[in-house]
Structure 1
Amino acid sequence: MATKCFMILTAALLAGCPRNPPVRDALVNDTSIEFPSFFERPPVQAGSEGVPVELSGTVLRAVELAADDFLGPQNVDTPCTDRRESHRYRVIQRQGVLFIRIDEDPQACGLAVPGLHSGAQYAVGSDGTLLRRLRDGEPDSSRKPLDAGPGTPVPSSEVGRSFEPPDGSVPLPFSLESRKDAGL
């Protein structure tokens, strides 16, 4: 009896294992692509009342691709801050690459400030290929660190050496026992 229950329980657990999360297309993260400054100039505002705006299908497809990757699938239960309509999109086209900047619009959800790391930048080829993604807070590996210069070499005799305490002419603040905590 115990063996039969164990086998049924094991079969039930194993039946749940094959569920794999949806797999996104592989991302080519081409760090040779540098993102432009999206806030260098004021954008042309799409959706201004009475002003027609024309988007090419290529631009629309690139924005959809970036939004799908950044925000994931949408349904009626999607929280306000994760909805496509709760974000602002800036698009710059250069040399056959569409650069898209996505930022949370806190006012769309009745908030005063956006969440920390709530944006991303995308580079999408004119053929609809996602070339590069950089989410806010991630290191930008395309930027090379500036050389700090040769520095000061440390003699091998000093490596790992603890230094003696000061000669007493200047007391260390943490060694004064007469001080009370919190400035009292």
Structure 2
Amino acid sequence: PERFTGLFLIGLDMTVLNVALPSLRSELQPGMAGLQWVADGYTLTLACAVLATGTWSDRHGRRRAFLIGMGVCGGASVVGALAHTMGQVIAARFAMGLGAALLMPSTLSIITVVFTDAVSQRRAIAVWALMAGAGGLAGPPLGGLLVEHSSWRAGFWINVPIAVCASFLSCVRGPT
């Protein structure tokens, strides 16, 4: 379950801040390029680093990669939530993308270890894809609620309890 939660977090982070861009713009006064980096820096970093982090995960352990990825995502989210400049927000988004790159391969590769028969693997991969999609779909409405009732910073804070809970569950469950 914690691996699927990690994947939900990846999908959520791709979209949750998109609706917060107008309020972020009014508070931090970035140019259009700054807003573009906030929106796309996460996904760009994830896409560029996922193959390398997948190899690292295979060599050093899936659980280790998962826990480090969750730590990086959670820590970078705190940095983003406390940011006072656009550069800090952008740096947090890049770091979150790197954390997500550590999470993604470990969430998928673990399926082949946990689910040994082909039917169970197909079901698990379907749930894996569903969780990524659900996170991406949940991002805009959740981001809208967070901005409406709090601020753009809540789009970062939402990640912290998810990262803590998923990390705790991964530690409790033991090595995989």
1 or 2 for the larger relative contact order (CA 8 Å, sep ≥6)? Answer: 2
TM-score normalised to the size of structure 2?
Answer: 0.24
Q: Which has the higher strand share?
A: 1
Q: Which has the higher helix share?
A: 2
Q: Which structure would you say has the larger Rg?
A: 1
